[in-house]
Amino acid sequence: MNKLTLADLDLDRHQVLVRVDFNVPLSERPPTQPFEDVSYAVADDTRIRAALPTVRAIMEAGGRAILLSHLGRPKGQPNSSLSLAPVAEHLGGLLDGKVRFCNSTTGPLVDRTLRSMPDGTVLLLENTRFHPGETRNDADFAKDLAQLGDVFVNDAFGTAHRAHASNVGVAQRIPKAAAGLLLERELRLLGDALHHPTPPVVALLGGAKVSDKIGVIRSLAAMADHILIGGAMSYTFLKARGFNTGASLVEDDWVDDALNMFVAAAGKLKLPVDHIVSTDLRATAEARTVSRDIPAGFMGLDIGPATVERYLDILRRANTIIWNGPMGVFEKPAFAAGTHAMASGLAEVTRKNAITVVGGGDSVAAVHRAGLASQITHVSTGGGAMLQFLEGRDLPGVSVLTDRS
Ligand code: ADP
Ligand code: MG
């Protein structure tokens, strides 16, 4: 990578401003005392743990880490249910209590806290999206943020596809902006899988919509040896190929593009040969297996067992696998078998030294649900960012970092 990384920065006794991705799910918890204000807890700390190597490296080098993150979509206004306070509490538990929290992002309270902060400790600032300037990449807000640090580190791959004040604006207004350890690892692993893969390369693509993924399918079609399609997007392809799709989700506006892509892929692109169908998402008792054509009134909700075998056969011979998008409505056990089988297939080939990469919010959730996340080479922390990277488009949060001279 031709960008500065954490190793290039002087950290000792420096104020190191770090953009992390602490956009984690919270769960409500009943207050234990009257008037208690933190009534939320971190429900899944995967993203917090993913940032620990960078934060610990700064602490151990004797720097002060000032952490910036967004949480949810508060639309430029403070919103107590989206405060980062519970995240600070959780982070404190992971870092021996060396974490402070400010309920603002800039201003006198932040300045005062910074002055009293010992080296080797951490300050988490409040949700950057409480400020209307964040998503607008407002110059004044970015300047105020930049004044908090001597240097800037971006470790938030998940927002790297957005040009916001806390990742792009701030990086433009500080002497040095570097990639954190997590961002560096994401870029290296995804970059290797995309640009220097060991063949055979298999792209496993599913999820809700063809329209969300058209750029990714096109880009992967150019480099992969096989493209395996599942999920709701397969019905737009199957309709284009002339099969009956019943009541399945089909994007009629994309049928022509799907057909063109199928033809251009010249046999590389594989579609499901059977399906788990039902009359309704909730009608799990009606679930049954059908081959190719889906009867009227039925929706395809998962890939069927013959497709699973066919896809596993191809996965087992792969040396590089890139997976985005569940094979079915994995949130419901009745329609999760296809997605779980693919997750197991990836774990199996990873044990045989294949490189496997999974990204996308729902795909990552599915791999965690299957208990297989630790058996995959790389589970990306980015959804939209990973898709944009796989499309071969620049990520603004990365482009803006200081070039290595
Ligand atoms: P990711 O977040 O991994 O990029 P997507 O958001 O594109 O994935 O798609 C995930 C969603 O697609 C899930 O909520 C899943 O239930 C849904 N889905 C997958 N297959 C089907 C299907 N056959 N019919 C309806 N929804 C589906
Ligand atoms: Mg999704």
Q: What is the residue-wise DSSP string for 137-166?
A: T-HHHHHHHHTT-SEEEE--GGGTTS--II
Mean pLDDT of 30-37: 67
How many whole angstroms separate alpha carbon 296 and alpha carbon 244? 8
**DSSP run (H or E) holding 321:** strand 320-324
Ligand nearest to the CA of 382: 1
Least confident of 44-48, 178-182, 233-237, 342-346: 44-48
Q: What is the mean pLDDT of residues 44-63?
A: 96
E strands, 7-114, in order? 15-19, 26-28, 40-42, 64-68, 99-101
- Report whether 249 contacts 235 (CB < 8 A): yes
Q: Is the pLDDT assigned to residue 75 strictly greater than 70?
A: yes
Say whether pLDDT at 87 is over 80: yes
pLDDT band at 320 (very low <50, low <70, confident <90, very high): very high
pLDDT average, residue stretch 138-162: 97
Q: Distance between CA atoms of 346 and 59, rounded to whole angstroms?
A: 36
C-alpha 405/C-alpha 394 separation (Å) is 20
Rounded Cα gap, residues 166 and 69, in angstroms = 8
Does residue 168 carry a pLDDT above 70? yes
**Cα–Cα dist 377/185, whole Å:** 11
Question: How long a stretch of residues is the chain?
Answer: 405
Q: Does residue 21 contact residue 71 with C-beta atoms inside 8 Å? A: no
Which pair of tokens denotes residue 81?
């249910």
- CA–centroid distance, 207 to ligand 1, in Å, is 4
pLDDT above 80: residue 283: no
Confidence tier at 34 by pLDDT (50, 70, 90): low
- In this predicted structure, the answer to whether residue 84 has a pLDDT above a threshold of 70 is yes
Q: How far is the CA of 275 from the centre of ligand 1 (A)?
A: 15
> In percent, how much of the chain has pLDDT > 70?
98
Ligand nearest to the CA of 207: 1
Average of per-residue pLDDT across 181-200: 93
- CA–centroid distance for 109 within its chain: 33
pLDDT of residue 375: 97
Residue 160: predicted pLDDT: 96
> What was the pLDDT predicted at 35?
64
Nearest to 122 by CA among 161, 93, 145: 93
The candidate with the shortest Cα–Cα distance to 218, out of 254, 190, 272, is: 254
Mean pLDDT calculated for residue range 200-204? 97
Mean pLDDT across the chain: 94
Q: What does the alpha-carbon distance between residue 361 and residue 325 come to, in Å, rounded to a whole number? A: 9
Tell me the residue type at 286: E
Q: Which residues are catalytic?
A: 47, 209, 361, 384
Q: Are 369 and 363 in contact (CB under 8 A)?
A: no
**Is the pLDDT reported for residue 133 higher than 70?**
yes
| Counts for the chain of helices (H) and strands (E), in that order | 15, 17
- For ligand 1, atom 24, which residue shows the shortest CA distance? 232
Contact 6, 178 (CB under 8 A): yes
> Looking at residue 38, what is its pLDDT?
55
Contact 121, 92 (CB under 8 A): no
Q: Tell me if the bond preceding 200 is cis, omega within 30° of 0.
A: yes
pLDDT band at 360 (very low <50, low <70, confident <90, very high): confident
Please, which pLDDT band fits residue 383 given cuts at 50, 70 and 90?
Answer: confident
Residues with CB under 6 A from ligand 1: 206-208, 212, 231-232, 249, 300-301, 324-326, 328-329, 331, 360-363, 383
User: Which CA distances in Å does 137 have to 77, 162, 165?
Assistant: 15, 10, 4
Alpha-carbon distance of 184 to 367, in angstroms, equals: 23
Confidence of residue 72 (pLDDT cuts 50, 70, 90): very high
Atom from ligand 1 closest to the CA of residue 231: 20
Averaged pLDDT, 373-386: 91
